[in-house]
Amino acid sequence: MMNCREVSRMIADGSAEGAGFLARMQIRFHHLMCGHCRSFASQLRAVGTAARAHMDKQESSSTGQGGIEDRVIKKILEQDDSPETTTKGGNS
Amino acid sequence: MNFSSPEFLDQVRKKDPEALTAIVKAYGKQIFRASLGAGLREQEAEEVVQETFTAFVQNVSRFEGRSHIRTWLFGILYNKIAESRRKKKRDLANDSIDDVFESRFDMNGSWTRPPRDVEALFSDSELRDQIGSCMEGLSDNQKNAFMLREVEGFPSPEVCEILGVTATNLGVLIYRARNNLRECLEAMGVGK
């Protein structure tokens, strides 16, 4: 039987999502019995929702965002054709 | 439009306006938003978006199609963000959230200081505004992981590839980010 610390840790680090059937059932059962752990999970959901809302607001209120795509394209087109750089990119 | 097709990539290399417009329109906003989420100021974020697409065009012939074009673009983005931070010599110290989390449980792993209901403490708009200042307190790695996984909803394997971390490391980053944010919100609600 998992305790509150173990259940909360698995919820917070995301490992509960990929956990096996038995572990997911244990977590679900624990949540049925434990209001504190339900509050913890609820807090995390609220954090995610608030963060997404915050980023939506920041993006839409950003004065620099209007036309940013056009400015990016214009600058690339204005740049001279230079030899390819060795800029480290992501995994290709 | 297939962004990974050799024809499209060749058009990008030749700076074909139509191809550039397509790729920038497809990912420009998302990359700008991720830059803001990483803690850059608006002007810095726009500069990093510009540098990301410029590097993408300059290095497009190196793209081998082994990963999604979005993954490659975001890989460039986070390298640019890291460069930007190194330039500014910003380095946020680690936090002690692990100890804070542990202190809330007794020897048996039961809550000694149960979580508070933050949704009852704040309205939706208050929560949205408070979380912004809480996010500023996250370390760079926590912020990047949280933004990609929680805000943008990227799958964990893609986040690992973009940030160059293992699945275990990503779990630790997400765990610390979420706990820091909820502790921060709880602290803001003290006295409410």
Q: Are B174 and A13 in contact (CB under 8 A)?
A: yes
Using the Cβ of B79 and the Cβ atoms of chain A, whether some distance falls under 8 Å is answered with: yes
Nearest to A39 by CA among A60, A63, A11: A11
Flag whether pLDDT at A87 surpasses 50.
Answer: no
Q: Are B54 and A73 in contact (CB under 8 A)?
A: no
Q: Does residue B143 form part of some domain? A: yes
CA distance A20 to chain B (A): 16
Chain A CA closest to residue B25: A69
Buried b (16+ CB within 10 A) or exposed e, B159-183: bbbbbebeeeebbbbbbbbbbbbbb
**B114 class by beta-carbon count within 10 Å (0-12 exposed, 13-18 middle, 19+ buried):** middle
Q: Testing the interface with A: which of B68, B147, B181, B184 to mutate, by most A Cβ within 10 A?
A: B181
Flag whether pLDDT at A86 surpasses 80.
Answer: no
Considering the domain architecture, whether residues B120 and B70 belong to the same structural domain is answered as no
Residues A72-77, mean pLDDT to the nearest whole number = 85
Provide the pLDDT for residue A85: 47
Residue after which a domain boundary falls, among B58, B88, B118: B88
Residues A34-57, mean pLDDT to the nearest whole number = 92
> Each residue's pLDDT tens digit in chain B (192 positions)?
788 888 888 898 888 999 999 999 999 999 999 998 888 878 788 889 999 999 999 888 888 778 888 999 999 999 999 887 776 654 334 557 888 888 899 988 999 989 888 778 788 888 888 899 999 989 888 999 999 999 999 999 999 999 988 888 899 999 999 999 999 988 887 555
Residue type at B27? Answer: Y
Q: Which residues constitute the domain of residue B25?
A: 6-88
Number of domains forming the structure of chain B: 2
Considering the domain architecture, whether residues B60 and B128 belong to the same structural domain is answered as no
Considering the domain architecture, whether residues B10 and B78 belong to the same structural domain is answered as yes
Provide the pLDDT for residue B190: 57
- Max mean pLDDT among A36-45, A79-88, B82-91, B110-119 falls in A36-45
Give the alpha-carbon dihedral of A6, A12, A14, A18, to 10 degrees: 30
Q: What is the ipTM of this complex?
A: 0.76
Provide the pLDDT for residue B121: 79
Flag whether pLDDT at A79 surpasses 80.
Answer: no
Q: Which residue among B54, B124, B150 places its CB closest to the CB of A79? A: B54
Residue after which a domain boundary falls, among B48, B67, B88: B88
Residues A45-69, mean pLDDT to the nearest whole number = 80
Using the Cβ of B154 and the Cβ atoms of chain A, whether some distance falls under 8 Å is answered with: no
Provide the pLDDT for residue A82: 53
If phi over 0 gives left and psi between -120 and 50 gives alpha, with beta otherwise, what is residue B10? alpha
Considering the domain architecture, whether residues B177 and B149 belong to the same structural domain is answered as yes
Q: Does residue B1 form part of some domain? A: no
Flag whether pLDDT at A89 surpasses 60.
Answer: no
